[in-house]
């Protein structure tokens, strides 16, 4: 089980080093999952959104998200059939799973425009 971040899928401006390392963890987890499947070893990636931490801005993060993160980690470790990915918590105004799905479903420029709109509406800087 690896702890990544939605930043591995949702790269934000001013966050390129962090997003780059989390994107690398996405690729590594995918490769390990495929390589280890023949040995019966599952590989899961927990992708938290904005959970309160020293790195996260107070106005963006929320301690209330911690139980969702903990439940995902517990499931990944104890389940006989763990998921490949666990997008948990939220990304500003939407659940992480929805943000990840949107990112993969709409063209880059459309997603950039949505991100810019959310930043303007909320007044937050990602």
pLDDT of 76 > 90? The answer is: yes
Pairing between strand 94-95 and 90-91? antiparallel
The 10s digit of each residue's pLDDT in 78-105 is 999 999 999 887 776 678 888 888 888 9
- Tell me, what CATH number does 84's domain have? 3.40.50.720
Number of domains in the chain: 1
- Measured distance between the N- and C-terminal CA atoms of the chain, rounded to whole angstroms: 27
Q: What's the confidence (pLDDT) of residue 61?
A: 56
Query: At 50, is the secondary structure helix, strand, or coil?
Result: coil
Whether the predicted model's global pTM rises above the 0.95 cut: no
Higher pLDDT pick, 65 / 14: 14
Q: What's the confidence (pLDDT) of residue 28?
A: 96
Q: What's the confidence (pLDDT) of residue 77?
A: 93
The 10s digit of each residue's pLDDT in 34-61 is 999 999 999 999 988 765 555 555 555 5
CB contact set of 78 (below 8 Å; sequence gap of 6+): none
pLDDT of 73 > 70? The answer is: yes
CB contact set of 69 (below 8 Å; sequence gap of 6+): 46, 48, 51, 88, 89
| Containing structural domain, residue 52 | 2-122
> Is 91:49 a contact under the CB 8 Å cutoff?
yes
Residue 23 per-residue DSSP state: H
The 10s digit of each residue's pLDDT in 23-34 is 999 999 999 999
Question: How large is the C-alpha radius of gyration of the chain?
Answer: 15
Give kind and range of the element (H or E) at residue 85.
strand 85-88
């Amino acid at each position: 089980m690896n702890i990544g971040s939605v930043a591995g899928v949702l790269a934000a401006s001013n966050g390129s080093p962090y997003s780059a390392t989390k994107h690398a963890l996405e690729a590594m987890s995918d490769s390990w999952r495929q390589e280890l499947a023949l040995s019966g070893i599952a590989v899961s990636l927990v992708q938290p959104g904005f959970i309160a931490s020293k790195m996260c801005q107070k106005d963006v993060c929320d301690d209330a998200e911690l139980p969702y993160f903990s439940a995902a980690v517990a499931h990944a470790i104890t389940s006989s059939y763990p998921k490949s990915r666990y997008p948990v918590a939220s990304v500003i105004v939407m659940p992480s799973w929805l943000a990840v799905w949107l990112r993969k479903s709409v063209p880059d420029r459309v997603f950039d425009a949505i991100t810019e709109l959310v930043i303007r509406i909320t007044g937050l800087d990602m």
